[in-house]
């Protein structure tokens, strides 16, 4: 009699459950060459890629990009390329913007994409009542006019990242006529986009099944069917790929990646991505003390975490700018120094006998070794006089708490910045009025405020480097590392790693 390991049993259990669900919808959960099954690490809370907390979750973008198209496309190397706009830019004095809309594009319901859809999407995103988390970017332009395929608009307040956002979070074109007909509730039941895949079946917290869009302007996709299984637990994702229930998975523990990539029938790929692991600090309680903040930073041996816990898969960093970002400054260092951490705490009256106490929140299994990393950091803190209580939460809860400015004094997060601009890393994470920040102090806000509309690009980037240096000196956040993304897949497949971390089905093909 064959004996199944726990991993295999978990994988088969998931597959059996989903088979029942699919068959209940008169469909077959088939493992054939026309179907791509992805064991995915997050659930899909909402189908609208432009509103609510899920719209700014970088991890969901692979799903959104499968169903919808963005104003501007982005290659797996993060280069910008034509999307639903074929050309775009500012006039000479940057008081107007212009965009050319791609012709011959069809919505999933068979209707034509028009420049009116583009304008409506931009105006909808700019309205505060719509609930777009990036409304403050989209509202910097308006008064749009259409002439054939050309759209022009006025710059209300110059934002150097306006077009970059068109390839990033919430930068999706929505169907004006269809959305106005069915409303938000109807759209959630039956979303319509122009993307390479159309929604076929959805079971919340279980799976999303997509079918190929035969009319896609970029050509019919390789796979007729794509199934995203929602598998937040990393151990179960390992089981999914090892048992053969899924064709590809990602974000598994690195020791499992090393084991599985050499297994018969499987291959692996790792690539540094635009995501960084960081610890948000909230300016409450113990974090109001600069000595505590800096001690918490100096006490962390980031290299040891990468080498021992992540098996070398990662790049230690001391700012919120990863090496690929536009404002990365290699000279900014904080450094691991336990003695210095102890001295800082001593100056504020703390020691290993009388530790400073606070809570730290973290996900568990969302990123490889996220919980274990925080466990290790809490252990390092204990050695210098910091006693931290760990609270585990789902990533959706993090977004909810962060938007309400209710995170604990310390909270682990994975920050994605696929456009590499300092405003979309340091800026939004640290500017008090931003809905994505929990650090709110006038000194930092005043420095950042000067840079939002800076038209001189060198002056803008140098200004962000100065902000990053100041943040490091004040200990306002604890950057940990740039991530390397592990992907394991069946050898019958070929993948193109995406530096954004978005495992898009269109980047997977057959050998």
Q: Calculate the CA 57 to chain-centre distance.
A: 5
Phi, psi dihedrals of residue 19, rounded to the nearest 5°: -60, -45
Examine the pLDDT at 380 and tell me if it is beyond 80. yes
Q: Are strands 477-490 and 266-281 parallel, antiparallel or unpaired?
A: antiparallel
What tokens were used for 271? 């690539």
Mean pLDDT over each residue of the chain, to the nearest integer: 92
User: Per-residue confidence at 395, pLDDT binned at 50, 70, 90?
Assistant: confident
Task: Round to whole Å and give the CA distance between 442 and 25.
Answer: 55
pLDDT above 90 covers what percent of the chain? Answer: 85
In this prediction, residue 27 carries a pLDDT of: 39
Per-residue pLDDT at 453 = 83
Q: How confident is the model at residue 31 (pLDDT cuts 50, 70, 90)?
A: low
Confidence grade of residue 503 (pLDDT, cut at 50, 70, 90)? very high
Q: Please identify, in words, the CATH class of the domain defined by 272-484.
A: alpha beta
* pLDDT of 221 higher than 70: yes
Look at residue 22 in the predicted model and tell me its pLDDT. 40
- Quick one: CATH architecture of 70-175? Alpha-Beta Complex (3.90)
Among the ranges 1-5, 90-94, 198-202, which has the highest mean pLDDT value?
198-202
Q: Which of 18-22, 118-122, 201-205, 410-414 has the lowest mean pLDDT?
A: 18-22
Comparing C-alpha atoms, which of 310, 307, 301, 316 is closest to residue 379? 301
Segments in 134-275 forming alpha helices (H): 135-138, 162-165, 176-189, 234-243, 254-260
Closest to 47 in 3D by CA, of 21, 67, 32: 67
CA-to-CA distance for 275 and 501, rounded, in angstroms?
7
Does residue 492 carry a pLDDT above 70?
yes
Query: CA end-to-end span of the chain, whole Å?
Result: 35
The reply to whether 272-484 shares the fold of 6-49+179-271+485-510 is: no
How many Cβ atoms from other residues are within 10 Å of residue 27's Cβ? 14
In DSSP terms, 35 is beta-bridged to 225
Bridge partners of 88, per DSSP, are: 99
- More confident: 387 or 17: 387
User: Rounded to an integer, what distance in angstroms lies between the CA atom of residue 251 and that of residue 249?
Assistant: 7
pLDDT digits (tens, 9 = 90+) for 275-287: 999 999 999 999 9
Q: Quick one: tokens of 341?
A: 């951490």
Average pLDDT (149-162) is: 96
Whether 255 contacts 311, CB under 8 Å: yes
155-171: average pLDDT: 95
| pLDDT (mean) for 116-137 | 96
Mean pLDDT of the 476-495 span: 96
Across 139-162, average pLDDT:
96
CATH class, range 6-49+179-271+485-510: alpha beta
Q: pLDDT digit string (tens) for 431-460?
A: 999 888 999 999 999 999 999 888 889 999
| Token code pair at residue 111 | 């209707």
> What tens digit of pLDDT does each residue of 408-427 get?
999 999 898 999 999 999 99
pLDDT at 2: 37
- Residues 47-67: what's their mean pLDDT? 93
Average pLDDT over residues 346-374: 95
Residue ranges with strand state E in 148-264? 150-155, 197-203, 207-212, 225-230, 248-250
pLDDT computed for residue 7 by the predictor: 40
Q: Residue 58: which pLDDT band, with cuts at 50, 70 and 90?
A: confident
Q: Name the residue among 107, 172, 114 with its Cα closest to residue 138.
A: 172
Beta bridge partners of 281: 410
Residue 255 to residues 245, 397, 416, Cα–Cα distance (Å): 21, 28, 23
Residue 286: both structure tokens together = 């113990």
Crossing angle of helices 370-384 and 338-347, in 10° steps, is: 60
Contacting residues for 131 by C-beta, under 8 A, at least 6 apart: 51, 52
Arithmetic mean of pLDDT, 137-162: 96
Domain ranges of the chain: 6-49+179-271+485-510, 70-175, 272-484
Mean pLDDT, range 230-247, rounded to an integer = 96
Question: Cα–Cα distances in Å, from 254 out to 117, 207, 232, 275, 485?
Answer: 44, 25, 16, 16, 9
Q: How confident is the model at residue 479 (pLDDT cuts 50, 70, 90)?
A: very high
């Amino acid at each position: 009699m064959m004996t199944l390991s726990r991993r295999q049993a978990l994988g088969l259990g998931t597959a059996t459950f989903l088979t029942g669900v699919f068959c209940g919808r008169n469909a077959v959960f088939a493992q054939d060459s026309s179907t791509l099954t992805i064991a995915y690490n997050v659930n899909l809370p909402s189908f609208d890629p432009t509103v609510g907390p899920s719209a700014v979750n970088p991890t969901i973008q692979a799903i959104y990009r499968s169903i919808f198209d963005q104003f501007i496309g982005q290659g797996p190397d993060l280069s910008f390329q034509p999307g639903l706009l074929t050309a775009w830019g500012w006039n000479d004095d940057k008081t107007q913007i212009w965009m050319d809309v791609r012709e011959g594009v069809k919505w999933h319901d068979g209707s034509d994409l028009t420049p009116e859809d583009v304008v409506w999407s931009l105006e909808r995103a700019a309205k505060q009542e719509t609930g777009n988390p990036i409304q403050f970017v989209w509202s910097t332009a308006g008064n749009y006019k259409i002439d054939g395929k050309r759209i022009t608009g006025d710059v209300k307040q110059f934002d150097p990242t306006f077009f970059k956002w068109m390839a990033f979070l919430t930068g999706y074109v929505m169907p004006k006529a269809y959305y106005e007909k069915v409303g938000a509730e109807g759209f959630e039941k039956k979303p319509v986009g122009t993307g390479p895949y159309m929604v076929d079946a959805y079971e919340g917290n279980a799976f999303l099944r997509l079918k190929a869009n035969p009319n896609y302007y970029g050509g019919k996709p390789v796979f007729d069917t794509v199934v995203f299984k929602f598998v937040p637990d990393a151990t179960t994702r390992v089981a999914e790929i090892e048992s053969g229930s899924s064709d590809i998975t990602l974000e598994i523990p690195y020791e499992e990646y090393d084991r599985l990539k050499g297994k018969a029938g499987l291959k692996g790929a790792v690539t540094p991505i635009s995501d960084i692991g960081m610890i948000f600090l909230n300016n409450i309680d113990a974090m109001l003390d600069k000595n505590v903040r800096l001690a918490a930073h100096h006490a962390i041996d980031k290299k040891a975490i990468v080498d021992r816990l992540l098996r070398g898969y990662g790049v230690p960093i001391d700012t919120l700018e990863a090496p690929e970002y536009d404002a990365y400054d290699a000279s900014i260092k904080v450094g691991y120094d336990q003695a210095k951490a102890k001295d800082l705490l001593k100056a504020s009256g703390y020691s290993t006998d009388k530790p400073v106490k606070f809570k730290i929140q973290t996900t568990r299994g969302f990123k490889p070794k996220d919980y274990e990393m925080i466990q290790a950091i809490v252990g390092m803190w204990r050695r210098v006089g910091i006693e931290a209580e760990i609270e585990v939460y789902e990533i959706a809860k993090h977004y909810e708490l962060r938007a309400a400015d209710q995170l604990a004094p310390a909270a682990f997060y994975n920050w994605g910045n696929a456009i590499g601009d300092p405003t979309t890393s340091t800026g939004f994470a640290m500017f008090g009025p931003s809905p994505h920040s929990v650090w709110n102090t006038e000194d930092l806000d005043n420095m950042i405020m000067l840079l939002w509309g800076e038209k001189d690009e060198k002056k803008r980037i140098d200004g962000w480097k100065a902000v990053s240096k100041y943040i490091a000196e004040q200990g306002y956040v604890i950057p940990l590392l740039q991530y390397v993304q592990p992907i394991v897949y069946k050898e019958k497949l070929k993948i193109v790693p995406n530096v954004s971390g978005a495992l898009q089905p269109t980047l997977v093909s057959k050998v």
